[in-house]
Amino acid sequence: MDAGSVSSSYSPIKPQSRSPLQRKKSKENLDRFIPNRSAMDFDYAHYMLTTDPKKGKENPITSSPAREAYRKHLAETFNMNRTRILAFKNKPPTPAETVLSDCSSVHHSKPVKARRYIPQTSERTLDAPDLVDDYYLNLLDWGSGNVLAIALGSTVYLWDATDGNTSELVTVDDEVGPVTSVKWAPDGRHISVGLNNSDVQLWDSTSNKLLRTMRGCHQSRVGSLDWNNHILTTGGMDGRIVNNDVRIRSHIVETYTGHQQEVCGLKWSASGQQLASGGNDNLLHIWDRSVASSNSPTQYLHRLEDHTAAVKALAWCPFQSNLLASGGGGGDKCIKFWNTHTGACLNSVDTGSQVCALLWNPNERELLSSHGFSQNQLTLWKYPSMVKMAELTGHTSRVLFMSQSPDGCTVASAAGDETLRFWNVFGSPVVAAKATPKAATEPFAHLNRIR
């Protein structure tokens, strides 16, 4: 088990501002002027060359008209017609001909992008009493309807991000609880709830109505959930992965076997074609629906054994469909990147601590990770260089869960310190947010008749 400590106190660190260095103007005068030497040096040279030193009289050769011509030649020879250093003999080139002018035009054609300000403290902190401090569970999810669901003990609460109101969805009985996983359906209205007794419930959040309870998927607790349109995929402590079609009475349509221990991470790709699963057996599997449904002896597309601890943190890249990031537990501490078409490990980065969750920035090539001991921080990485851009601190226990708002900019994190924090880490949306579409009813049209 990946264990962590719990602390009841927390103290956010205030951001520090940096003043930019200003370029000082030089006080030195770049041009140096010297006295006019034609009144001294030239006259002295002319005197010595045109006067008879014995008689002190002017040489007769200079009394002729050739004197002025000789005087000019003498001045050119001794370079005595200049009055300042660095004077141009020829006319300087026009600004259009200089290299500086060309560089300036290139600079203006490619302006440097301003660096985004990343707040170092959470913008909001909420109490989360009775949050189960268990690395293998998934107790936080932010739906497309801008409502955040969090399981605290045996109760699921809904927090509406538009008005800040909190409501209780359900409190389950002790014999079936506590709640071990929550996951919103794509429509932002229906929500699945995994329980400790192996049952999975499906709720309508608008009416707080239980639509159905799915049984027989697993033999023990259901710690991971994910949706692929109308297919609800469940992962259990028994190592099984089950695809459930929630529209039909016999909901189990596919079962994937490959993990020997608890499945703690499940993520479908955006295309809905590939599923990534991580387990407490240190394994990462890539499942392809076309392969998994063909009754082949080996159901998984790839079996990846590079991690040396439990694999819970999984995140599909939003700008490269076959790129998957995975994070290992306390005995591994690495973030690894995979080409899911070939199964090749593209990179591995040792983070120095347990990796609990991963999220991609949908607007920039950045990855956010949450961690356990010793800093219990969120770290923002630049991809693919994996240079640290920021470290967000404030939690005093391992940051077990993360989820992001529908626009992808705000991140919610929940930790063993029983706090829920909101971070404006991914900046502002690239485009104005569109109105939330009406909830799709087709995938769940017959749920009221199914029990």
The answer to whether residue 30 sits within a structural domain is: no
Q: What angle do CA 229, 245, 218 make, to 5 degrees?
A: 115
Residue of 96 and 113 predicted with greater confidence? 113
Which is nearest to 256 in space by CA: 270, 276, 271, 272? Answer: 276
**How, if at all, do strands 334-339 and 323-328 pair?**
antiparallel
Q: What is the mean predicted confidence (pLDDT) over 150-169?
A: 97
pLDDT above 90 for 306: yes
What percent of the chain has pLDDT above 90?
A: 66
220 & 311 share domain: yes
Q: Does residue 188 share a domain with residue 55? A: no
Instruction: Note whether residue 6 is domain-resident.
Output: no
Among the candidates 105, 137, 153, a domain finishes at: 105
Task: Indicate whether 170 and 270 sit together in one domain.
Answer: yes
If pLDDT is split at 50, 70 and 90, which confidence band does 298 have? Answer: low
Question: What ranges make up the beta strands (E) of 91-229?
Answer: 124-127, 140-142, 147-152, 155-160, 166-171, 179-184, 190-195, 200-204, 209-214, 222-228
Helix 66-77 crosses helix 41-50 at what angle (to 10 degrees)? 130
Are 320 and 184 found together in one domain?
yes
- CB–CB of 254/268 below 8 Å? no
Q: Same domain for 216 and 304?
A: yes
Q: How many other CB atoms are found less than 10 A from the CB of residue 261?
A: 15
Q: Return d(Cα 205, Cα 170) in angstroms, integer.
A: 10
Distance separating alpha carbons of residues 333 and 356, to the nearest angstrom = 9
The CATH number of the domain holding residue 319 is 2.130.10.10
pLDDT value at residue 22: 24
The identity of residue 127, as a single letter, is: D
Q: Sheet containing 334-339: give its strands across.
A: 311-316, 323-328, 334-339, 344-350
Q: How many independent structural domains does the chain possess?
A: 2
Could you give the count of Cα atoms lying within 13 Å of 395 in the half-sphere of its Cβ?
35
Tell me, yes or no, whether 389 and 284 share the same domain.
yes
Of 72 and 29, the one with more pLDDT:
72
What distances in angstroms separate CA 223 from CA 25, 65, 249, 280, 338, one per listed residue? 64, 113, 23, 12, 24
Interatomic CA distance for residues 51 and 199, integer angstroms: 123
Neighbouring-strand partners of residue 338: 324, 345
Full domain range(s) for residue 435: 124-449
CB 365 within 8 A of CB 380: no
* Boundary (domain end) residue, out of 57, 73, 105: 105
Instruction: Work out the mean pLDDT of the chain and round it to a whole number.
Output: 81
User: Do 322 and 401 sit in the same domain of this protein?
Assistant: yes
Choosing from 105, 137, 155, the residue where a domain stops is 105
pLDDT digits (tens, 9 = 90+) for 208-245: 999 999 999 999 999 999 999 999 999 999 999 999 99
Judge if 219 and 317 occupy the same domain. Answer: yes
**Residue pLDDT, tens place only, 263-292:** 999 999 999 999 999 999 999 999 998 876
Specify if 137 maps to a domain.
yes
Residues 252 and 367 in one domain: yes
Q: What is the mean pLDDT of residues 81-103?
A: 44
Each residue's pLDDT tens digit, 388-401: 999 999 999 999 99
Closest CA to 192 of 233, 236, 220, 145: 233
Output phi, psi for 311, to 5 deg: -110, 105
Q: What average pLDDT does the segment 103-127 reach?
A: 74
In a domain, 119, yes or no: no
Task: Look at residues 188, 139, 179 and name the one whose alpha carbon lies nearest to residue 161.
Answer: 188
Domain assignment of residue 84, yes or no:
yes
The DSSP bridge pattern shows strands 140-142 and 124-127 to be unpaired
In a domain, 351, yes or no: yes
Nearest-Å Rg of the Cα atoms of the chain is 37
Confidence tier at 93 by pLDDT (50, 70, 90): low
